[in-house]
Amino acid sequence: MSSPHVVAVAVTDATATFELAVPCEVFGLDRSDLADPWYELRLCAAQPGQLTTAAGLVVPTPYGLADLADADTLVVAAAARPVQLDPPPGLVAAVRKAYEAGKRIVSLCSGAYILAAAGILDGRRATTHWMNAGDFAHRFPAVRFEPDALYTEDGPILTSAGTGAVIDMCLHLVRRDHGSAVANEVARRMVVPPHREGGQTQYAKPLPRPVARTNDDDGLAPVLAWARDRLHEPLTVADLARRAHLAERTFARRFRTTLGTTPLQWLLQERVRLAQELLETTADPVETIARRTGFGSAANLRHHFGRQTGVSPQTYRHVFRDRAAAATAKA
């Protein structure tokens, strides 16, 4: 059996409780029933002394800065304001060393300050919590800062906004490593949405004018769930708007304001994700998967799948489904 992927989280004092809890939940629990081996989580002290979260919870950190070099993925947890302004030199050096060694490096929320201080975000896309946007952009003008993004991925470096966006990015990492089906199951166990694109806005901007609430819809979630159950059908914006009891233009405007994308682009993303799951979990031919996902033809599926993922359906199946079968055979 191969060795587990080591995720080392660099912890500084007064880190945000929720943001630290998310990688512990996603990578620290034994989920070998989904993928074996699962991850190995290591909490590494980035400062001397007893470390606590912002809420006063003591963080057990049996590992230190020296252990960050052995990790496959280095995660810098959210940093309190004093750490943002004056990050520990040892942590900055460890981040730079990991980057030079080609490791995957991730920041959670304000942990992006440490990555920027290490100089590894210069010229790269990055984000952090929207409340820090002005300060971060001012301090690090060489960073291609994206204040609205939930998370960014630029080569081996990923950054996220705060709180819920940390969940989105951690699930994105699972999807990268183990495929869509595994990530969706982790999300289901956490009782959170299976996926949000990193480019979606961090928060819903005010609508231009009030939108009347309908008697059966307290948001877009019911419409999205309805559409996900019917991806094999030729859905249109008019179909979705009718389900939401809104005029088509009003629905499209509300959709973009809430999700940061258009209804048709969202449908395309959902169909590609369903195709990923079917490629991972079934032996169905591409033609069948194309019909089940609403693409109609194998050629249409290949076109959109390649544009979304950068690989063909056949290559995707080989990477994820065959790898899973090989791992099962070794167990």
Residues near 319 by Cβ (< 8 Å), separated by ≥ 6? 311
Least confident of 30-34, 89-93, 278-282, 314-318: 314-318
CA angle 142, 148, 152 (to 5 degrees): 65
Residues near 256 by Cβ (< 8 Å), separated by ≥ 6? 262
pLDDT of 227-268, one tens digit each?
Answer: 999 999 999 999 999 999 999 999 999 998 888 789 999 999
pLDDT for the residue numbered 193: 75
Instruction: Indicate the pairing of strand 51-52 with strand 58-59.
Output: antiparallel
Q: Measured on CA atoms in the order 219, 225, 231, 235, is the torsion positive or negative?
A: negative
pTM over 0.75: no
pLDDT of 297-321, one tens digit each?
Answer: 999 999 998 887 777 888 878 776 5
- Residue 188: other Cβ atoms inside 10 A: 11
pLDDT of 16-73, one tens digit each?
Answer: 999 999 999 999 999 999 999 999 999 999 999 999 999 999 999 999 999 998 999 9
**Strand residue runs (E) in the chain:** 5-11, 39-45, 51-52, 58-59, 63-64, 73-76, 104-107, 125-126, 144-145, 151-154, 157-160
Instruction: Kindly list the structural domains of the chain, giving each domain's residue range(s) and its CATH number in brackets, ordered by start.
Output: 5-190 (3.40.50.880), 265-330 (1.10.10.60)
DSSP string, 212-237: PPBTTBSSSHHHHHHHHTTTTS---H
Closest-CA residue to 71 (of 47, 102, 116, 46): 102
Cα separation, 175 vs 186, in Å, equals: 10
Q: Measured on CA atoms in the order 303, 199, 109, 35, is the torsion positive or negative?
A: negative
